Structure 1
Amino acid sequence: MTTAEGPVVRTDAGAVRGREEGGLAVFRGIPFAEPPVGEARFQAPRHARAWDGVREAYEFGPPPPQDMAFQGREGELDAPTGDDWLTVNVWTPDVRAAAGRRPVMVWIYGGAYKAGHAGSPGYDAQYIARDGDVVVVTFNHRVGIEGFARIEGAPANRGLLDQVAALEWVRDNIAAFGGDPAQVTIFGESAGAGAVASLLAMPSARGLFHRAVAQSVPGTFFSDELARDVAAEIAQEAGLPPTAAALATVDPRRLTAAGEALGEKMRQYEDRWGRLAPTVTPFSPVVDGEVLPTTPWEALAAGAGRDVELVVGHNRDEWRLFIVMGGQLGKITEEQAGWALRTFGPGPEGEQAYRAAFPEAAPGELFERVQTDWLFSMPSLRLAEAQVAGGGRAHVYELTWPAPGAGGVLGACHGLDIPLLFGTYEADLGNLLFMGSGVPDQARELSARFRSAWTAFARTGDPGWPAYDPEERLVQVLDAKPEVRAYPEEVTRRLWQDYEFAPLPLLNPGEAD
C-alpha cells in the first residue's frame, strides 16, 4: 500500500512506512530481532517484539559496537546511536502484491569480523535493485566481542546467528515487499564472504537461501581452543574473566577498546596463535562443532552446498591495499619477504616453493603475493573446488582491472569489487580507490557488468559464464575487456593444491597464561 507519506508494508511484527526514492520503495531500520542488550547480551538473537501503529522506516538502525581504529576513525560513526543494532533495510522496485515476486539479494558486509554496518554509504543498494529489477536486503549483525568472542555462558558465532535470524525475517516477510522467499541469494565480500561460506556449512541456515555469491573469501577460521584463548586475552585487557556474565557488566562500546588494545599487540602471541598473530584481527568464525560444525571447505566437499548454486571469486592483487595503506609500497625488504613466505606459505617448504615458482619476483611482490594467496585467493578458489567435489555447481571469477585512484598503484586490490558492484565510487573505500581519477568509462562499464552478472545469477542461477570444473578450470576474468579463460593463477593453484584450510589451531596450549 502506498500513501501520501510513503509506502506502507505490514511485517510479522507490525507495519512500517518507507519512502519513494528514485523509482524504488526504500525501508530502513526495521528490527528483525530484539536489541541484544541487558538479559539478551551475548545470547542468540530473539525475535523482534511487535509494535502498534505504523513505524517509520526512514533511517538506518544504529551500527553495532565496533573497532574504530581498524577503520582509521576516532570517536563515533556518523550514524544513529542506540542499542537497536539488529535491523534490516529493503530496496524494492514495487511493494504491490500484484506486481509479482522478484528475486531477493541479501548483502552481508565485511570488516574483518570486527567492523562494518549496513548503513555505510558504500552499501547503498539502489543501483543493484533498480538496474537488476530485484529486491535487495541489507542488515546489521554483531561484530567483534559482541558477535564473535568465544566466551563462557554464550553461544559461539553470535554474529552468524544474527545472520540466520535476518534470513528468517526475509523468509517470513519479504513477499510483502514484492520479493520471492523461494528465490533468495546471499552475497558478501571479505568477512561477509566468510559469512556466506559459513552459512553454507551451517545446519541452522539450510533452506533459507538458494544461491550464494562469495567475494574474496578469507581463509581464517578458528578452532574452538584458539578462539577461547584469544577471548581470554581480550577479557584480561578489560580486567575481567572471559564469561558472558562478567563482560556484560561493561558498556558494549567501551568493551571494544579491549579488542582494539589486543589487536595492537597480537604479534606478541605468535608462539601460541601462529599465523593469526600477525593479522591484528582477533575474530573469525569459530568451528565450535555446533553452530558451525566444520569448516566451509570440509562441509561443501561433503555435499552441504549441493543444492545451492555458487559464484565465488577474488581480486588479483588483494593484499596491495594493505601494503599501500600501511605505507609499505616499495619498501619491503628481502628479510620481510622471507618472513612472509615462511609464515603464510603452504607448508614448511613454502618459502622455497614460492621462490622456485617465481624466481624473478622482487621482495615486495613475494610479500604481497603469498598473503593474497593465503588469505583470499586460494580460500576462494578452494571453496569452488569443494563445492564441485561435493556434487554442487560453482562459477568462478577473478577481478584484474586495476583501481585508478592513488596514482594507479593499487592494482586490482581488496575491496575494489564493492564500489564497482554498488556503483558507490565516492563513498567509503571508493574514495581511495577512485581518488583523483574521477570515474573512467571503463569503471562504469565494468560496474554495469558486475550488476548484470550478479542479478542474472540471482534470477536464473547463471551469471553468464561456464561453471567451474577441475579439468578446464574456466573462470570469468573481469577487466576492461572481460574474457572467459582458464584460471590465470595456475602456478599459485599448484603450489596450494595439497594444502588444507583447516581451523587455525592453538599452539603450545600449555604455555597459555
Structure 2
Amino acid sequence: MASTLDVQLPQGTVRGLRGPAVNRYGAIPYARPPVGALRFRAPEPADWNGLLDATGVGTIAPQRPARLRDVMGDLDGEQSEDCLHLTIWTPAADGAPRPVVVWIHGGAWQSGAGALPWYDGSRLAEEGDVVVVAINYRLGAPGWLCLPGLPANLGLLDQEAALEWVVRHIGAFGGDAGRITVMGQSAGASCIAALCGRQPRFHRAILQSGALGRGFRSLEDAYALGQLFMEAAGAADLEALRALPIERLLDAQQAPSVLSALSAGNYAGPLFTVVADGTVVPRDAQARMADWAGARDVLVGTTRDEMAAFPGYGTDADSRAVGEAAFGAGSRQWADDARRAGRQAWSYRVDFGPTERFGACHCIELPLLFGTLEAFGPAPMLAGADPGHVRDLSARMRAAWLRFIRGGSPGWDPAPAMQIFD
C-alpha cells in the first residue's frame, strides 16, 4: 500500500503520495469546476473543505488528438471540463523556503495538460531541491472562444488564478512564494508574455519556443472566428452554446467551414490564441511587448528546427528561415528588451536533433528538460537517439534551468550571447 503524507491548508487537509525523495500531490483544485452555468465564466476560487484526496492524477481538459502527435507521440488522460487542477512535487512539505517553478504547457491552446507523465516534475524537484507545480487550464472553446458577451482569454485567467493559489498556499508544501519562476513552452510561453503585461505573480520567467514576435489576435478577427465557430456548433445564441455537450464544441473546432477560413490565410495563427481584447489584454498589446519583456528576469530560447514539427516543413534552410521569423527573432528581441530595461536575460538554442526528418524540432527539449524519456516512449522525434548522449544532455539542461530557477545565472554569459545545446 502506498504511503501517504498530509499537508494542512486553511480549508482542510491535502493528502498526497510519499516518495523516496519527492512527494506528489495531484489534482488539487485551484478553481471551481467551470461547468454548467460556470462554462465561459471567469474562474472562481475552489470551495472544497475537509479532506482532499490528492493521491491521484486528475483529469485533463477535453481535447482532440494533438496536431503534433506524429512528432511527440500520443498523450493520454481522462478528460473532463472539471479540469482546473494543479499537481505539486516537493522534496518535503516542511516549511523550508524552496524556490518554486510553475509549468504552463503548450499545445496551440487546444491540447496538452500539466497532469501528464510527460511533465512529471519529480526529477527537477529532487535534483534542484525546488517545488514544481504543473497546472491545467481550459483549452479550445471553453478557454479561448471570443464572442460579444463572453469574457475573453479565460484560459489566461485560469493560469492567473492558479498562480494566485500558489502564492497563497505553496508555503505549506515547502515552497517560497517570494521566489516563483514561471516556465512555459510554445502557447505556454506566449501566455507568460501576456501575464507579464498584467500583474505578474512571479519573479522570473522561462520562455521556450514562444512565437513572441507575432503578437496576439485582434478583437475583430477573434469575433469573426468566434461567429464561424458558433455557427459550426449549431448554437443560436450564447445560452445555447453554453448548454451544448462538450463533444459538439470539439467537433466545431474541426468543422470544414472553420478549417477553411484558417487555411485561406484570413486569420493568422491557430483557431484559438491570446486575444488583445482590451480588457484582459490591451488592444495595443504588440506595442507594449518591449515593456512587458522588462517585467522580469528571463531565460528565453528556441530550437534550431522549430518548423520541422509542422506539416510542409523540414530541416532545410528555407524551413529554418521560417522558424527564425516565427520563433527565433522574437525570442532574441525579448531578451534584448529585457536587458535594455535593466533585467537579467539569457538566451539559448537547442540543436539536438537525432532524426533527419525532425531535427531539433519544436518540443524536442521537453523530454530532455523534464527527464521523462520513458514517458515520451517511442516519440518519432527521438528515434535513434544515443541513450548516453541523451542522458548527458538532459542532465546539463536541467542543471542550467535549475540554476536560473534558484535565482542565479544558468551558466553562460547574458544575452546577446547564446548557449547551444546539442
Length-normalised TM-score, structure 2: 0.92
Distance 1:289 1:265, change over 3 A: same
**1:246 maps to 2:189:** no
**Please, which moves more after superposition, 381-390 or 123-132?**
381-390
2:322 is aligned to 371
1:385 is aligned to 336
Contact 2:215 2:285 survives alignment (8 Å): no
2:281 to 272, 283, 292: 292
Shift of residue 295, structure 1, vs aligned partner: 6.5
AA in 1 matched with 2:290: A
Contact 1:306 1:393 survives alignment (8 Å): no
Distance 1:136 1:182, change over 3 A: same
AA in 2 matched with 1:32: Y
1:31 is aligned to 29
- Secondary structure of 2:42 counterpart: coil
- Secondary structure of 1:248 counterpart: helix
AA in 1 matched with 2:61: P
1:457 is aligned to 404
**1:310 maps to 2:257:** no
AA in 1 matched with 2:59: P
Query: 1:408-464: per-residue Cα shift (whole Å, max 9, x none)?
Result: 4321111011011011123348622222x2543222111111111111111124211
Contact 1:118 1:139 survives alignment (8 Å): yes
Contact 2:301 2:332 survives alignment (8 Å): yes
Measure, in 1, the Cα distance between the counterparts of 2:92 and 2:378. 29
**Please, which moves more after superposition, 224-233 or 388-397?**
388-397
Distance 1:268 1:419, change over 3 A: closer
> Matches of residues 279-428 of structure 1 in structure 2 within 5 Å?
281-293=270-282, 298-302=287-291, 304-323=292-311, 365-366=317-318, 368-402=319-353, 404=354, 407-428=355-376
> Matches of residues 429-440 of structure 1 in structure 2 within 5 Å?
431-435=379-383, 437=384, 439-440=386-387
- Secondary structure of 2:224 counterpart: helix
1:497 is aligned to none
- Secondary structure of 2:168 counterpart: helix
Measure, in 2, the Cα distance between the counterparts of 1:460 and 1:72. 35
Contact 1:67 1:260 survives alignment (8 Å): no
1:154 to 147, 150, 155: 150
Measure, in 1, the Cα distance between the counterparts of 2:14 and 2:238. 34
**1:171 maps to 2:167:** yes
1:17 is aligned to 15
Distance 1:446 1:72, change over 3 A: closer
- Secondary structure of 2:255 counterpart: helix
Structural RMSD (CA): 2.4
2:222 to 217, 220, 227: 227
Contact 1:395 1:467 survives alignment (8 Å): yes
Contact 2:359 2:381 survives alignment (8 Å): no
Shift of residue 297, structure 1, vs aligned partner: 5.7
Contact 1:122 1:419 survives alignment (8 Å): yes
Measure, in 1, the Cα distance between the counterparts of 2:156 and 2:168. 19
AA in 1 matched with 2:220: E
Contact 1:297 1:386 survives alignment (8 Å): no
Contact 2:87 2:133 survives alignment (8 Å): yes
Contact 2:103 2:183 survives alignment (8 Å): yes
Query: 1:234-284: per-residue Cα shift (whole Å, max 9, x none)?
Result: 11111224x5423101112331110122564235543x32xx2xx5x2111
1:105 to 101, 104, 119: 101
Measure, in 2, the Cα distance between the counterparts of 1:9 and 1:58. 12
Contact 1:113 1:191 survives alignment (8 Å): yes
**Please, which moves more after superposition, 182-191 or 247-256?**
247-256
Distance 1:40 1:267, change over 3 A: closer
2:59 is aligned to 62
AA in 1 matched with 2:154: R
> Matches of residues 241-280 of structure 1 in structure 2 within 5 Å?
241=236, 244-261=238-255, 264-267=259-262, 269-270=264-265, 272-273=266-267, 276=268
Measure, in 2, the Cα distance between the counterparts of 1:439 and 1:123. 22
Contact 2:24 2:90 survives alignment (8 Å): yes
Runs of 4+ with deviation above 4 angstroms: 294-297
1:354 is aligned to none
Measure, in 2, the Cα distance between the counterparts of 1:267 and 1:39. 30
- Secondary structure of 2:67 counterpart: helix
Contact 1:104 1:183 survives alignment (8 Å): yes
Distance 1:77 1:12, change over 3 A: farther
Contact 1:315 1:413 survives alignment (8 Å): yes
Query: 1:201-224: per-residue Cα shift (whole Å, max 9, x none)?
Result: 123xx2x10000000012352011
Aligned residues, how many?
416
1:357 is aligned to none
1:358 is aligned to none
Measure, in 2, the Cα distance between the counterparts of 1:365 and 1:463. 30
2:189 to 188, 193, 207: 193
AA in 1 matched with 2:242: A
Distance 1:11 1:251, change over 3 A: farther
Distance 1:60 1:389, change over 3 A: same
Measure, in 2, the Cα distance between the counterparts of 1:68 and 1:244. 26
Measure, in 2, the Cα distance between the counterparts of 1:397 and 1:174. 30
Q: Flag structure 2 segments of 5+ consecutive residues without an equivalent.
A: none
Q: Flag structure 1 segments of 5+ consecutive residues without an equivalent.
A: 331-363, 480-513
Measure, in 2, the Cα distance between the counterparts of 1:264 and 1:155. 24
Contact 1:301 1:387 survives alignment (8 Å): yes
Distance 1:20 1:378, change over 3 A: same
Contact 2:98 2:130 survives alignment (8 Å): yes
AA in 2 matched with 1:377: G
Distance 1:135 1:329, change over 3 A: closer
2:128 is aligned to 132
